[in-house]
């Protein structure tokens, strides 16, 4: 092909506007889809966190008022109480649900209780941090209920930026600290 023929082909190719809309759409479709999936992932995760916080508040109120007796409270019972209401947002039987309910001598001691993510696992810290336990206090005692859920990140491309636990999960956490009312033990 001669130099003039190549120049006229280039001019015709660059000057032809048919299909430009399809090309522009193709260039914008991927970033748009990524943005939509990121928004959906964040919204669903936030809704799950809020549902878990409301459930934890309700369970803590029942414990604080003595509606749930200390003798009736076990780890399995507490997990079932939370999971039965959380299943609207998560998989059946709430895989990844951890609970920690314990009594503290003072609010200052309860404030020292914390956790950290070490090697992509939850590690309890502070006063008496050994393991997750369920040990509610008697009337007028100070208690803290902490609920952890290993929330699965649904979209693969978001997992690397959102996940802070093993298996592409992110930690949802809620805590309530209270003093029991003077109910009959």
pTM, rounded to two decimals = 0.81
Q: Is the pLDDT of residue 41 over 60?
A: yes
pLDDT at 115 over 70: yes
Distance CA 135, CA 141 (A): 12
pLDDT surpassing 60 at residue 4: no
d(CA 4, CA 12): 12
Confidence check: pLDDT of 83 > 80: yes
The domains of the chain are located at: 18-179
Whether 5 shows a pLDDT value over 60: the answer reads no
- Which of 22-36, 52-66, 67-81, 169-183 shows the lowest mean pLDDT across its residues? 22-36
Sign of CA dihedral 85, 68, 175, 182: positive
Nearest CA to 145 among 27, 36, 60? 60
Mean of pLDDT values over 20-33: 88
With left for phi above 0 and alpha for psi between -120 and 50, is residue 183 left, alpha or beta?
A: beta
How much of the chain exceeds pLDDT 90, in percent?
55
């Amino acid at each position: 092909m001669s130099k003039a023929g190549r120049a006229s082909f280039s001019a015709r190719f660059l000057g032809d506007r048919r299909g430009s809309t399809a090309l522009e759409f193709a260039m914008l479709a991927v970033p748009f889809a990524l943005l939509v999936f990121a928004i959906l992932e964040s919204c669903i995760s936030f809704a799950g966190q809020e549902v878990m916080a409301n459930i934890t508040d309700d369970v803590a109120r029942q414990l604080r008022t003595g509606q749930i007796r200390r003798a009736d409270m076990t780890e399995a019972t507490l997990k079932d109480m939370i999971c039965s209401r959380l299943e609207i947002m998560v998989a059946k039987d709430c895989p990844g649900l951890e609970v920690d309910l314990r009594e503290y001598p003072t609010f200052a001691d309860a404030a020292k209780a914390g956790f950290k993510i070490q090697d992509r696992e939850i590690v309890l810290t502070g006063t008496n941090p050994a393991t997750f336990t369920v040990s509610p206090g008697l009337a007028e005692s100070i208690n803290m209920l902490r609920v952890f859920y290993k929330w699965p990140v649904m979209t693969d491309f978001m997992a690397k930026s959102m996940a802070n636990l093993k298996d592409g999960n992110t930690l949802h956490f809620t805590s309530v600290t209270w003093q029991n009312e003077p109910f009959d033990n």
